[in-house]
Amino acid sequence: MKLKFAEILKNIWEKFIGKIDSFMDKIYLGKKFKIPRREEIFFILCIVAASVVYFFAPETNITGEGGIGIVVFTFILMYGIIVFSNKKLLSVIEDVEIWEIIFGVLIVLFSYYGVGLIKQSVGIGFRFGVTNTVFFLAGLTIAFYGIRRLDVTWAFFLLLGALAIANMVFIGNSPIDILAGRTLAPLEASWVSSLLNTLGYKTTVSYGQTVSTVIFQDRYARVPIAGACTGIQGMTLYTTLTGGMMIGTGIPYKKRAIFLGVGAAILFLLNFLRLVILSLVAYHYGMAEMYSVHEWLGGVIFLIFVFFFWVLVIGREIRKVSSDVCAEEKRKSDNTDGRVSDGSLGENRPRTSEEEQETGDSGSS
């Protein structure tokens, strides 16, 4: 009996997953860290995709969406971390239909060709950028987790939509960009100038409508600060990604708001220090070197901060909430001795497999 086309594709997909699965067995990573296979593979693919985009697609740095090589890398890598950190929430998805896999693969293809043609038609350029990345990650998510369980995956697609919107508002002279140039740029320029003057440098500030410039008086060195230079993009990216990081963790929403606000404030201060460093580079080594450092310094600071903030602060809170949930479940289990009340005659009955699943799910939401 001949296999249907869908069954053939499903067999190919299962063989592909099986090969990766056997490879992970050989290096014992999954067994050592007790990582669910699907999240492990998803995370590895995100690392590979991010590396390919960053190291082998230098044209992303000259796309019409701006200098986004490091940003595209960050989007893919951190989305992989977000999915990876929510493995308990996603573990309720047991299987994916072949039509969902095909649909996800088609979106992945569309992320390059379809989005590229649309961008080219509006004059942005065909090259792979943030908009392409959002569609790519959406397709990858559907291929791995499907779309039937939207009660579980909706927040991840909402996160990708937020990233797409955040990218759109920063293309060109967006209203947010202009607003940051008029409000945050003068503030940061004055702070930079005051600190440099305290350190013994002679500087002044030229305030424009949307660009403020720190000028050294005894040497031709100046650092223009526009809206995009104020750190507003990094703060927006941080709040969006960190909000996604806390999906399904059980962290109270009040604490989530505090984490978002504190992290954004720290990023603002780190961006201020970045501007000071760039000013010193411009003074001592020249404008060309300053622009060279400008290309990578912000991205490196952002990645280091977000990584350590996630691990040391948010990760610690996630572990604390998880341990509290586990302790509460154990207490309930000890009190009922594996039995739950059905509300009739005050008697208990054994748990069903569906109730056990619901108890596990509630601890991860």
Over residues 106-135, the pLDDT tens digits come to: 998 888 788 878 877 877 666 677 778 888
Report which of 156, 181, 176 is spatially closest to residue 236, judged by C-alpha positions: 176
CA 10/CA 171 separation, integer angstroms: 40
Which band of pLDDT confidence, cut at 50, 70 and 90, is reported for residue 272?
A: very high
Between 61-65, 330-334, 358-362, the lowest mean confidence (pLDDT) is in 358-362
Give Cβ neighbours of residue 54 (< 8 Å, ≥ 6 apart): 60, 69, 70, 72, 73
Question: What is the pLDDT, as a whole number, of residue 63?
Answer: 43
Which band of pLDDT confidence, cut at 50, 70 and 90, is reported for residue 322?
A: low
In terms of pLDDT, which residue wins out, 72 or 342?
72
Tell me the per-residue pLDDT of 283-296, one tens digit each, with 9 for 90 and over: 999 999 998 888 78
In terms of pLDDT, which residue wins out, 21 or 266?
266
* Sheet containing 212-216: order of strands: 203-207, 212-216, 222-225
Question: What is the pLDDT, as a whole number, of residue 117?
Answer: 83
CA 124/CA 65 separation, integer angstroms: 7
Percentage of the chain beyond pLDDT 90 is 19
Tell me the per-residue pLDDT of 189-205, one tens digit each, with 9 for 90 and over: 999 999 999 999 999 99
pTM given for the model:
0.62
Give Cβ neighbours of residue 236 (< 8 Å, ≥ 6 apart): 166, 170, 176
| Identity at 323, one-letter amino acid code | S
CA 232/CA 268 separation, integer angstroms: 8
Lookup: tokens for 163: 């990233």
3-state secondary structure of 349: strand
Question: Which backbone phi and psi does 224 adopt, to 5 degrees?
Answer: -75, 135
Is the Cβ–Cβ distance between 124 and 172 less than 8 Å? no
